[in-house]
Amino acid sequence: MAKEYDVVVIGAGNAGLMAALNLQRAGKSTLIVEQHNLPGGCASSYVRGRFEIDPSLHELAGVGSMENPGSIRKMFRELDLPIKWVDVNDCFRVIGKFSDGSPMDVTIPSGRAEMIDAMEKYVPGTRKKMEKLFRLFDEVSEGLEFFSRTDKYDLKYAIKHFGNMLVVGAHSSKIVFKAMRLPQRCIDILSTYWSYLGVDLGHLSFLHYAMMVRSYLDEGAHIPTFTSHELSVALEDKFRELGGDIWFNCRADSIIFEGDKVVGVKTPYGDIACKYVMANVNDDIVYGKMVPKEHVTSRIRRLSNARKHKYSARMFTVHLGLDVTREELGINDYSIFMVGTADSEKEYSNMMKGFESNEFAILVCYNVVNPKASPEGTCLCSITTFGSPVDWNGLKPEDYAEYKTRCAEKLMSIVKERAGIDLFGHVEEIAIATPWTFARYLGTPEGCVYGHATSDWDDIISRTLQMNKDYPIKGVRPIGAGGPRGDGYSSAYQCGEMMAQIAIKELDGEAAV
């Protein structure tokens, strides 16, 4: 007879690993079942020749410095996981066109004062307005922390202390930037990070965007020295060390109920008994496949169908192991955003039309900040764009290799034309990741990596406020990129931790009864 667990975590993605580790640490016997043979989901790596390639991570927010640790560094520290963080230093360089069509080549350093100085240089006369914007960011941050601590908040207190946040809270980034009377060029520069959340500024909650920009500027961005597999393997091994069980190549297909109570999970090893299931799986799969139909409420179905655009933008990345150094290629910036236009709404709509009209690319060269990223005399780069599922829906398997190669060629040409960096002729290893790749390894709907696209009515604040309504089935908690915290590594870790705390409370509450 197999062991009985308090909790089974389905999926060893970032949220799943973090949740499982927190549960096991709190004394809840926990089993992770993972369909792939590796931990981490997107947070992983693979080896091609003499290169080790990170499939997804550009920059991790919320790490902060040794002296001034951010929430993520604290989280890993508290779990006693020594990660060798690398500081990314600069925020970004963006090459392309301002909304008005004039050429744009802007480099933004990390650090608030440095950023404000740089902005003043590029768009003179913005210093005061930028300072004001940062004060608003701070208020938003304090306000959100206040809201995250309380279920029922005191509105009077909130109005007194976070009045500005309440004023901007329901609005998109675009509306708030305009209301702050920022010059368009300043907005254009500030827009650069929009793609990291996969939604244009017109539909991106200001609170969400403010939190991200603030974190990248104040705390800087970081990567682990040895790819994001370093993070995942640290979590995997710590979980084992604390007595947790983790089974790979082991896809759980359904959750077993007795009456309305969760009693186990079906796995290829047989039924595994447990009291609680955390699924690091998109909730459409959890409620559409794993939970028996009779437990799925009308609201759950309606929520899924209300998400018209359903899943966030699909990723396309070319990973290149190059047989020359970054200096020889003339790469001086860690990440260069090449945009067709800084007008995020126009850009987003171009992307959604398909690859032909997509002019957006991010070049990352890991060696700029991490000399250990690849062997001596070489460098490791990736070029990423986001796109619509339309290109990938109707493609035939026999046309796939040629199509992805053509897309990769286009991105390399964009890099050559816009940034003057010629990567052709130096390719020692190439790996191209498309939505099919993510669908293959992660099994996410349509190969999405960002979960459900956020939208004006479905932003992370509203999701967080309605968490219990969204996930009404007791003992089943979907976690991960589709969850209330939205996408991104740090959001997923935070989501996993937060949901584990809830699960622990619920399990203890049950035991008390």
State which of positions 255-294 bind other proteins (CB under 8 A).
267-270, 272, 284-285, 287-289
Strands (DSSP E) along 340-418, which ranges?
A: 361-365, 379-387
Burial of 506 (0-12, 13-18, 19+ CB in 10 A): middle
Q: Which of 264, 447, 451, 486 binds other proteins (CB under 8 A)?
A: 447
Q: Is 52 in the site for other proteins (CB under 8 A)?
A: yes
Compute the least distance from the CB of residue 470 to other proteins, in Å.
9
Determine the interface stretch with other proteins among 65-73, 85-93, 182-190, 222-230 (rule: CB under 8 A).
222-230
- Best CA proximity match to 14, nearest among 489, 456, 375, 419: 489
Q: Which of 264, 389, 482, 484 binds other proteins (CB under 8 A)?
A: 389
Q: Which of 7, 339, 361, 412 binds other proteins (CB under 8 A)?
A: 412
Compute the least distance from the CB of residue 438 to other proteins, in Å.
8
Per the CB < 8 A criterion, the answer to whether 245 and 265 are in contact is no
Compute the least distance from the CB of residue 383 to other proteins, in Å.
12
Q: Is 352 in the site for other proteins (CB under 8 A)?
A: no
Residues 242-253: b if buried by 16+ CB within 10 A, e if exposed: eebbbbeebebe
Compute the least distance from the CB of residue 102 to other proteins, in Å.
29
Neighbours of 1 (CB within 10 A): 5
Q: Toward other proteins, which CB reaches closer, 83 or 339? A: 83
- Residues between 113 and 152 with contacts to other proteins, criterion CB under 8 A: 132, 135-136, 138-139
- Residues between 225 and 244 with contacts to other proteins, criterion CB under 8 A: 226-227, 229-230, 233-234, 237, 240
Q: Which of 235, 250, 315, 507 binds other proteins (CB under 8 A)?
A: 250
Q: Is 74 in the site for other proteins (CB under 8 A)?
A: no
Determine the interface stretch with other proteins among 94-102, 333-341, 357-365, 389-397 (rule: CB under 8 A).
389-397
Q: Is 46 in the site for other proteins (CB under 8 A)?
A: yes
Determine the interface stretch with other proteins among 171-179, 195-203, 351-359, 487-495 (rule: CB under 8 A).
171-179
Compute the least distance from the CB of residue 254 to other proteins, in Å.
12
Q: Toward other proteins, which CB reaches closer, 466 or 501? A: 466
Say how far apart CA 166 and CA 139 lie, in whole Å: 10
Retrieve residue 450's tokens: 């960002």
Q: Which of 29, 48, 120, 403 binds other proteins (CB under 8 A)?
A: 48
Retrieve residue 217's tokens: 């500027």
Q: Which of 74, 77, 261, 302 binds other proteins (CB under 8 A)?
A: 302
Residue with tokens 């945009």: 339
Q: Is 295 in the site for other proteins (CB under 8 A)?
A: no
Per the CB < 8 A criterion, the answer to whether 11 and 476 are in contact is no
Say how far apart CA 341 and CA 165 lie, in whole Å: 29
Compute the least distance from the CB of residue 135 to other proteins, in Å.
5
Backbone φ/ψ region at 63: left (φ over 0), alpha (ψ -120 to 50), beta:
alpha
Compute the least distance from the CB of residue 140 to other proteins, in Å.
10
Amino acid letter, residue 308: K
Q: Which of 154, 409, 508, 510 binds other proteins (CB under 8 A)?
A: 409
From residue 305, alpha-carbon distances to 202, 238, 288, 411 in Å are 22, 39, 12, 34
Burial of 465 (0-12, 13-18, 19+ CB in 10 A): middle
Burial of 492 (0-12, 13-18, 19+ CB in 10 A): buried
Q: Toward other proteins, which CB reaches closer, 285 or 338? A: 285
Q: Is 161 in the site for other proteins (CB under 8 A)?
A: yes
Q: Is 159 in the site for other proteins (CB under 8 A)?
A: yes
Say how far apart CA 147 and CA 62 lie, in whole Å: 19
- Dihedral angle of Cα 175, 180, 185, 189, to the nearest 10 degrees: -80
Compute the least distance from the CB of residue 484 to other proteins, in Å.
12
Compute the least distance from the CB of residue 446 to other proteins, in Å.
5
Q: What are phi and psi of 223, to 5 degrees?
A: -135, 155
Q: Toward other proteins, which CB reaches closer, 97 or 161? A: 161
Retrieve residue 262's tokens: 């969760």
Q: How many residues bind other proteins (CB under 8 A)?
A: 100
Say how far apart CA 20 and CA 32 lie, in whole Å: 7
Q: Which of 428, 501, 502, 506 binds other proteins (CB under 8 A)?
A: 428
Q: Which of 66, 67, 102, 155 binds other proteins (CB under 8 A)?
A: 155
